[in-house]
Protein backbone atom coordinates (compact mmCIF):
# COMPACT_ATOMS: atom_id res chain seq x y z
CA UNK A 1 0.00 0.00 0.00
CA UNK A 2 1.28 3.48 -0.81
CA UNK A 3 2.45 5.62 2.07
CA UNK A 4 0.71 8.86 2.99
CA UNK A 5 3.69 11.13 3.50
CA UNK A 6 3.71 14.68 4.76
CA UNK A 7 5.71 17.60 3.41
CA UNK A 8 7.67 17.54 6.65
CA UNK A 9 8.90 14.07 5.72
CA UNK A 10 10.19 15.44 2.44
CA UNK A 11 11.88 18.31 4.24
CA UNK A 12 13.56 15.89 6.61
CA UNK A 13 14.75 13.78 3.72
CA UNK A 14 16.11 16.81 1.86
CA UNK A 15 17.85 18.11 4.97
CA UNK A 16 19.78 14.86 4.96
CA UNK A 17 20.40 14.20 1.27
CA UNK A 18 19.97 17.46 -0.66
CA UNK A 19 23.64 18.45 -0.38
CA UNK A 20 24.76 15.22 -1.99
CA UNK A 21 22.09 15.45 -4.69
CA UNK A 22 23.08 19.03 -5.39
CA UNK A 23 26.66 17.90 -5.95
CA UNK A 24 25.39 15.33 -8.45
CA UNK A 25 23.27 17.99 -10.16
CA UNK A 26 26.21 20.37 -10.38
CA UNK A 27 28.39 17.69 -11.91
CA UNK A 28 25.67 16.98 -14.44
CA UNK A 29 25.17 20.61 -15.37
CA UNK A 30 28.56 22.19 -14.75
CA UNK A 31 27.55 25.14 -12.59
CA UNK A 32 26.11 25.80 -9.16
CA UNK A 33 23.23 27.87 -10.54
CA UNK A 34 22.22 25.28 -13.12
CA UNK A 35 22.62 22.49 -10.59
CA UNK A 36 20.34 24.26 -8.12
CA UNK A 37 17.77 24.82 -10.85
CA UNK A 38 17.94 21.20 -11.86
CA UNK A 39 17.55 19.93 -8.30
CA UNK A 40 14.71 22.36 -7.61
CA UNK A 41 12.86 21.10 -10.69
CA UNK A 42 13.39 17.50 -9.62
CA UNK A 43 12.11 18.27 -6.11
CA UNK A 44 9.00 19.82 -7.63
CA UNK A 45 8.37 16.64 -9.56
CA UNK A 46 8.81 14.57 -6.46
CA UNK A 47 6.53 16.86 -4.47
CA UNK A 48 3.73 16.36 -6.99
CA UNK A 49 3.57 12.68 -6.14
CA UNK A 50 5.01 12.81 -2.64
CA UNK A 51 1.83 12.07 -0.65
CA UNK A 52 1.38 8.73 -2.34
CA UNK A 53 5.05 8.16 -3.11
CA UNK A 54 6.10 4.63 -2.36
CA UNK A 55 9.74 4.11 -3.15
CA UNK A 56 13.23 5.42 -2.68
CA UNK A 57 13.08 9.22 -2.94
CA UNK A 58 16.82 9.54 -3.46
CA UNK A 59 16.73 7.08 -6.34
CA UNK A 60 13.76 8.92 -7.82
CA UNK A 61 15.50 12.29 -7.55
CA UNK A 62 18.74 10.93 -8.99
CA UNK A 63 16.85 9.44 -11.93
CA UNK A 64 14.93 12.68 -12.46
CA UNK A 65 18.14 14.72 -12.35
CA UNK A 66 19.68 12.52 -15.04
CA UNK A 67 16.56 12.49 -17.18
CA UNK A 68 16.19 16.24 -16.97
CA UNK A 69 19.86 16.78 -17.69
CA UNK A 70 19.97 14.44 -20.66
CA UNK A 71 16.55 15.04 -22.12
CA UNK A 72 13.69 17.29 -21.19
CA UNK A 73 15.42 20.03 -19.27
CA UNK A 74 17.55 20.99 -22.23
CA UNK A 75 14.41 22.20 -23.94
CA UNK A 76 14.46 25.20 -21.64
CA UNK A 77 16.24 28.13 -23.25
CA UNK A 78 18.41 28.74 -20.23
CA UNK A 79 19.63 25.19 -20.29
CA UNK A 80 20.49 25.42 -23.97
CA UNK A 81 22.67 28.41 -23.24
CA UNK A 82 24.43 26.68 -20.41
CA UNK A 83 24.88 23.52 -22.40
CA UNK A 84 26.54 25.41 -25.20
CA UNK A 85 28.99 26.81 -22.72
CA UNK A 86 29.62 23.43 -21.20
CA UNK A 87 30.49 22.06 -24.60
CA UNK A 88 33.12 24.74 -24.96
CA UNK A 89 34.29 24.61 -21.41
CA UNK A 90 33.60 28.26 -20.74
CA UNK A 91 31.58 28.66 -17.61
CA UNK A 92 31.03 31.99 -15.90
CA UNK A 93 31.08 30.54 -12.41
CA UNK A 94 34.36 28.79 -12.99
CA UNK A 95 37.76 30.17 -12.23
CA UNK A 96 39.71 29.69 -15.43
CA UNK A 97 42.80 31.36 -14.10
CA UNK A 98 42.88 29.30 -10.95
CA UNK A 99 45.59 26.80 -10.25
CA UNK A 100 45.03 23.87 -12.47
CA UNK A 101 45.99 20.37 -11.63
CA UNK A 102 45.13 17.17 -13.32
CA UNK A 103 42.07 16.56 -11.19
CA UNK A 104 40.64 19.94 -12.12
CA UNK A 105 41.51 19.32 -15.75
CA UNK A 106 39.67 16.01 -15.64
CA UNK A 107 36.55 17.64 -14.24
CA UNK A 108 36.73 20.35 -16.89
CA UNK A 109 37.00 17.67 -19.52
CA UNK A 110 34.09 15.83 -17.91
CA UNK A 111 31.97 18.95 -18.28
CA UNK A 112 32.81 19.12 -21.97
CA UNK A 113 31.72 15.57 -22.69
CA UNK A 114 28.34 14.95 -24.33
CA UNK A 115 25.72 15.10 -21.62
CA UNK A 116 24.89 11.40 -21.71
CA UNK A 117 28.53 10.36 -21.50
CA UNK A 118 28.97 12.78 -18.65
CA UNK A 119 25.94 11.34 -16.84
CA UNK A 120 27.43 7.86 -17.13
CA UNK A 121 30.72 8.96 -15.57
CA UNK A 122 28.98 10.90 -12.80
CA UNK A 123 26.78 7.96 -11.92
CA UNK A 124 29.59 5.42 -12.15
CA UNK A 125 32.37 7.32 -10.40
CA UNK A 126 30.61 9.90 -8.27
CA UNK A 127 27.51 7.97 -7.26
CA UNK A 128 29.53 4.75 -7.48
CA UNK A 129 26.71 2.84 -9.11
CA UNK A 130 27.25 -0.33 -11.10
CA UNK A 131 26.89 -0.44 -14.87
CA UNK A 132 23.52 -2.15 -14.44
CA UNK A 133 22.24 0.47 -11.99
CA UNK A 134 23.50 3.26 -14.23
CA UNK A 135 21.78 1.69 -17.23
CA UNK A 136 18.52 1.42 -15.29
CA UNK A 137 18.64 5.11 -14.35
CA UNK A 138 19.48 6.29 -17.84
CA UNK A 139 17.02 3.89 -19.45
CA UNK A 140 19.57 2.31 -21.77
CA UNK A 141 21.37 -0.99 -22.20
CA UNK A 142 24.26 -1.94 -19.96
CA UNK A 143 26.46 -2.16 -23.05
CA UNK A 144 25.69 1.45 -23.87
CA UNK A 145 26.78 2.49 -20.39
CA UNK A 146 30.00 0.51 -20.73
CA UNK A 147 30.88 1.97 -24.12
CA UNK A 148 29.98 5.55 -23.12
CA UNK A 149 32.02 5.21 -19.94
CA UNK A 150 35.04 3.77 -21.66
CA UNK A 151 34.97 6.46 -24.37
CA UNK A 152 34.90 9.16 -21.70
CA UNK A 153 37.68 7.55 -19.70
CA UNK A 154 39.78 7.06 -22.83
CA UNK A 155 39.67 10.81 -23.47
CA UNK A 156 40.66 11.42 -19.90
CA UNK A 157 43.58 9.02 -20.11
CA UNK A 158 44.81 10.88 -23.18
CA UNK A 159 44.62 14.14 -21.27
CA UNK A 160 46.37 12.63 -18.26
CA UNK A 161 49.12 11.24 -20.43
CA UNK A 162 49.67 14.61 -22.17
CA UNK A 163 49.58 16.27 -18.79
CA UNK A 164 52.19 14.07 -17.18
CA UNK A 165 54.49 14.36 -20.22
CA UNK A 166 54.24 18.14 -20.18
CA UNK A 167 54.49 18.38 -16.41
CA UNK A 168 57.68 16.34 -16.51
CA UNK A 169 59.03 18.61 -19.25
CA UNK A 170 57.97 21.89 -17.60
CA UNK A 171 58.56 21.08 -13.97
CA UNK A 172 54.94 20.30 -13.17
CA UNK A 173 53.48 23.57 -14.40
CA UNK A 174 50.82 22.04 -16.58
CA UNK A 175 50.35 21.81 -20.27
CA UNK A 176 51.93 24.48 -22.40
CA UNK A 177 50.63 25.35 -25.78
Partner 1 sequence: MKEIEDLLREGMERFTADLRAPAGMTGRAEQRRHRRLALRSVAGAATALAAAAVALVAVEVPGAGSGGSAVASAAVVKRVDNALNAAEPGDIAQMAVTTRSVSAFGGPAVTTTAEEWSYGDQWRSVANSLDGHPLYDEGSGPASVYTLVNYQTRTWARQPGLGRPAAPAFGASSCKPLLAGIPGPAGSLAPRPLPGQAKGRSVPSLFQPGLPGIGFSASSPPATVARALRTAVSCGSLAVAGRQRVDGTEATELTSRPGSLISETVWVSPGTYLPVRVVVSSGTGVRLTANITWLLPTAPNLAKLTVPVPTGFRRVQLINAVIPIVQQLPGKQEPKTLCLPAPAGSTCQRVSAAYGAGLAPEGQP
**Is position 10 an interface residue for partner 1 (rule: CB under 8 A)?**
yes
Task: Give the C-alpha separation, 72 to 84, whole Å.
Answer: 16
Cβ partners under 8 Å of residue 155, min gap 6:
109, 113
**Is position 68 an interface residue for partner 1 (rule: CB under 8 A)?**
no
Binding mask 78-97 for partner 1 (x = CB under 8 A): x--xx-xx-xxxxxxxxxxx
Taking the alpha carbons of 120, 154, 88, 168 in that order, is the dihedral positive or negative? Answer: positive
Binding mask 136-165 for partner 1 (x = CB under 8 A): -----------------x--xx-xx---x-
Q: Among residues 57, 29, 28, which one has the least CA distance to residue 124?
A: 28
Q: Please check whether residue 151 is in contact with residue 118, taking contact to mean a CB–CB distance below 8 angstroms.
A: no
**Is position 99 an interface residue for partner 1 (rule: CB under 8 A)?**
yes
The only residue of 3, 7, 71, 143 in contact with partner 1, by rule CB under 8 A:
7
Task: Give the C-alpha separation, 49 to 83, whole Å.
Answer: 29
Smallest separation, CB 152 to partner 1 (Å):
9
**Is position 22 an interface residue for partner 1 (rule: CB under 8 A)?**
yes
By beta-carbon proximity to partner 1, the closer residue of 1 and 127 is 127
Alpha-carbon Rg for the chain in angstroms: 18
Task: Give the C-alpha separation, 127 to 132, whole Å.
Answer: 13
Instruction: Give me the residues that bind partner 1 (CB under 8 A), please.
Output: 7, 10-11, 14, 18-19, 21-23, 26-27, 31-37, 39-40, 43-44, 47-48, 78, 81-82, 84-85, 87-100, 102-110, 112, 121-122, 125-126, 153, 156-157, 159-160, 164, 173-177
Amino acid sequence: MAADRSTADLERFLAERADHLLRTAVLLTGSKEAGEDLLQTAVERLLRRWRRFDGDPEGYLRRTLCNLATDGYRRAGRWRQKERLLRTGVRPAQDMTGDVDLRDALVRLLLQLPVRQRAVLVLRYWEQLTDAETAAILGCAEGTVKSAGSRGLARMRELASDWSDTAAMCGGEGKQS
